[in-house]
């Protein structure tokens, strides 16, 4: 039986990728060291191999035991701030780990790859809509490792015929089910939830950007839509040969921080007025995807609204913080 190997499939995004593929009838096997992921994120019927992609013996065993059609690689250290403090750890995990995985794929004759990249590869783009041709200038070691990962996959494409799709995710939030929400407080949605739960006003980092309401504009996308993009990518790779492509995965629509906070207060029933504090260094004014290439070429579109995204994230938050619901 042919399977897709999902490396990092017990993590936040990976578990949604596994669910989307499994629900669509694909055979999936997960490899994850559970360093940030969790066993309960993987459906019971999906085999979970607990192991490290840096360990070539583990990888050899996985490729021996399973007839792997292709690999989705989501493994990475993901925290931008941490990457500034611990760049070598990020390079080791995100670049060396991926190199070891690619070498194992080469040895096993596996030639299909979907790679998790990120809009962070663009850095501070000064354009209205970011296309895949917008120059990349990552601002952090994390963003650098994501870009190098794209290059590694493309080099494998040229050297030994790896078919590759790089997916550059924009601002991901939400969950397909409450227990699948991201438990970390790393992006605006949980940051605002955290403030509201503590009875504090949400923070806006600067309102003097050159955007319509002065606050930063981002492209928010529901994690279930990110997951369905992977399903579309794996099916495209099944049909196509000689492919090395990179796609933005976003809604193609921007929302300002102030607008997102309005959606959050509407969904949660909390009414705190935000406070404006200083800009954060390195925050670009606007990062919105041109998402037309992935729509045109993979037939993928985002199906969930920002309200769905926030509401699903809020359900997960309240599961872990029952005190968060307004009286």
Ligand X SMILES: NC(=O)c1ccc[n+]([C@@H]2O[C@H](COP(=O)([O-])OP(=O)(O)OC[C@H]3O[C@@H](n4cnc5c(N)ncnc54)[C@H](O)[C@@H]3O)[C@@H](O)[C@H]2O)c1
- Catalytic positions are 142
Residue 74 as a binder of ligand X (CB under 6 A): the answer is: yes
Contact between 309 and 181 under an 8 Å Cβ cutoff? The reply is no
Are 21 and 13 a contacting pair, CB within 8 Å? no
Q: Which is nearer to ligand X, 66 or 146 (CB)?
A: 146
What's the rounded Cα separation, in Å, for the pair 78 and 60? 26
Q: Residues touching ligand X: how many (CB under 6 A)?
A: 27
Residue 34 sits in the site that holds ligand X (CB under 6 A): yes
By CB under 6 A, is residue 76 in contact with ligand X?
yes
Binds ligand X by CB under 6 A, chosen from 20, 29, 72, 97: 97
Q: Which of 36, 295, 301, 315 binds ligand X (CB under 6 A)?
A: 36
Does 32 help bind ligand X (rule: CB under 6 A)?
yes
**Does residue 154 contact residue 132 with C-beta atoms inside 8 Å?**
no
By CB under 6 A, residue 52 contacts ligand X = yes
Three-state DSSP state, 169: strand
Q: For ligand X, which residue of 18, 113, 114, 118 counts as binding (CB under 6 A)?
A: 118
How many Cα neighbours within 13 Å face the side chain of 206? 15
Which CB sits closer to ligand X, 164 or 270? 164
CB of 6 to ligand X, least distance (A): 10
Query: Residue 76 or 232: which CB sits closer to ligand X?
Result: 76
Distance from C-alpha of 206 to C-alpha of 208, rounded to nearest angstrom: 6
Q: Contact, 76 vs 82, CB < 8 A?
A: no
- Residues 6 or more apart in contact with residue 25 via CB below 8 angstroms: none
| Residues near ligand X, by CB under 6 A | 8, 10-14, 31-37, 52-54, 74-76, 78, 93, 97, 116, 118, 146, 169, 172
């Amino acid at each position: 039986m042919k399977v897709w190997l999902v490396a990092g499939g017990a993590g936040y995004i990976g578990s949604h990728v596994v669910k989307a593929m499994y629900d669509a009838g694909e055979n999936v096997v997960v490899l994850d060291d559970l360093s940030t992921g969790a066993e309960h994120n993987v459906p019971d019927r999906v085999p979970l191999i607990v192991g490290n992609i840096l360990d070539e013996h583990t990888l050899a065993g996985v490729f021996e035991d399973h007839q792997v059609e292709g690999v989705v690689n989501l493994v990475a250290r993901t925290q931008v701030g941490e990457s500034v403090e611990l760049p070598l750890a990020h390079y080791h995990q995100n670049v060396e780990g991926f190199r070891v995985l690619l070498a194992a794929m080469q040895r096993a004759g596996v030639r299909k790859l979907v790679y998790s990249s990120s809009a962070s590869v663009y850095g501070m783009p000064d354009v209205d809509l970011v296309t895949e041709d917008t120059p990349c200038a990552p601002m952090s070691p994390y963003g650098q490792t994501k870009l190098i990962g794209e290059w590694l996959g493309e080099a494998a494409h040229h050297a030994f015929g790896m078919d590759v799709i790089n997916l550059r995710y924009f601002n991901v939030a939400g969950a397909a089910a409450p227990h699948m929400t991201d438990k970390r407080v790393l992006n605006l949605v949980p940051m605002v939830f955290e403030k509201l739960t503590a009875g504090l006003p949400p923070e806006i980092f600067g309102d003097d950007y050159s955007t319509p309401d002065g606050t930063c504009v981002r492209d928010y996308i529901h994690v279930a839509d990110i997951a369905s993009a992977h399903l579309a990518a794996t099916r495209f790779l099944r049909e196509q040969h000689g492919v090395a492509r990179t796609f933005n995965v976003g809604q193609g629509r921007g929302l300002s921080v102030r607008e997102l906070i309005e959606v959050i207060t509407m969904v949660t029933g909390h009414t705190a007025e935000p406070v404006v504090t200083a800009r954060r260094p390195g925050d670009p004014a606007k990062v919105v995807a041109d998402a037309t290439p992935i729509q045109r070429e993979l037939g993928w579109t985002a199906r969930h609204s920002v309200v769905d995204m926030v509401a699903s994230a809020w359900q997960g938050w309240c599961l872990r913080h029952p005190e968060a619901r307004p009286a």
